[in-house]
Amino acid sequence: MEQETSILNVPVSVQINLTDGLMQPFSVHDVRRVTQLTEQFSDQAAVKNAISQGDPIVYEIYHHLFLTDKSDMAMGMSVISAGTVGKEYYMTKGHIHERDDQAEIYYCVQGIGLILLDDLQDDFQALPFSNGTAVHIPPQYAHRVVNTGSVPLIFVSAFHQAAGHAYDQVAKKGFAKIVIDENGKPELRSNPQRLNALSK
């Protein structure tokens, strides 16, 4: 049930189904298909092919905003489907926070994959991210989750709404590495998009 966001200066709870990632109630529900990730996936022929084959859902997000007069905490629940576009695993778009003082926590409740953390300068890390892993994302690190398993990867995020989501800056530069399915195993490869951005 979608609920209008209003300021509530009293305790509030929501219910999360850890099996399918559904949050009740929620403030926002977004469905992101291959069409919404054309800039992110590296194999453009595979992108076109996936879109023509029914444009599958790559991931869904539910958000709940806990607004009070003095705070703006938010919680997200993301469900990344299992699959690939070409050889590249399904993943989130990836963003960096607009505000430079805003961190975030991700907690994986189901599945197996990687979390990519990139300061878009000289530090890139791909950390294992599976059922039970909690990761603190420091300010000014772009973040993306990749599902390298065969079941949906579900994770919870906790952040301040005022952090803001900047997608364009990350989409333009690209993460330093992409994650490819090589004979059923994940492998990291240099992102051709990042190499192009550097040579410009």
Chain length of the chain = 200
Structure tokens at 16: 């999360």
Minimum CB distance to Fe ion, residue 143 (Å): 6
Residue from 164, 89, 170, 162 nearest 129 by CA = 89
**Total residues interacting with Fe ion, rule: CB under 5 A:** 1
List of E strands, 133-191: 134-137, 142-147, 153-160, 165-166, 177-182, 185-190
Minimum CB distance to Fe ion, residue 58 (Å): 17
> By Cβ distance, which residue is nearest to Fe ion?
104
Q: Output 88 or 104, the one with its CB closest to Fe ion.
A: 104
Minimum CB distance to Fe ion, residue 95 (Å): 6
HSE-up (13 A, CA, CB side) for residue 76: 22
Restricting to residues 80-139, name those near Fe ion by CB under 5 A.
104
Minimum CB distance to Fe ion, residue 96 (Å): 8
Q: Output 60 or 104, the one with its CB closest to Fe ion.
A: 104
The residues of the shown chain that bind Fe ion, judged by CB under 5 A, are 104
